Amino acid sequence: MKKNVGSADRVIRVLLAIVFAVLYFTQTVTGTLGLVLLVLGGIFLVTSLMGFCPIYRIVGMSTCKTK
């Protein structure tokens, strides 16, 4: 898997994952929407740590700087 997620994109994904987790665990957002946000936050966190996003690959997009 070639990295296709740049550093700014990674930071944004981690921040969103944190916000979604806080909203869920403080019960600000509950029910189905809360679970969807929690799962989405988990996906953002994993793709940020891996530096690879399958959706970016499908659409041929990359936020990494070329060397």
Kindly state whether residue 16 falls inside one of the protein's structural domains: yes
Q: Helices H, strands E: what count in the chain?
A: 3, 0
The model's confidence at residue 2, banded by pLDDT at 50, 70 and 90, is confident
**Which whole number is the average pLDDT over 9-25?**
96
The mean pLDDT of the chain is 93
pTM: 0.87
Q: Could you tell me if residue 1 is inside a domain?
A: no
pLDDT band at 22 (very low <50, low <70, confident <90, very high): very high
pLDDT of residue 67: 58
Cβ atoms < 10 Å from Cβ of 31: 7
Residue 64 DSSP one-character state: S
Domain that holds residue 16: 7-59
Quick check: is 34 in a domain? yes
Query: How deeply is 13 buried, as exposed, middle or buried, from its count of CB atoms within 10 A (0-12, 13-18, 19+)?
Result: buried
The answer to whether residue 65 sits within a structural domain is no
Question: Is pLDDT of 40 > 70?
Answer: yes
**What does the alpha-carbon distance between residue 67 and residue 53 come to, in Å, rounded to a whole number?**
19
Q: Is there a domain that residue 2 lies in? A: no
24 inside domain: yes
Q: Domain tally for the chain?
A: 1
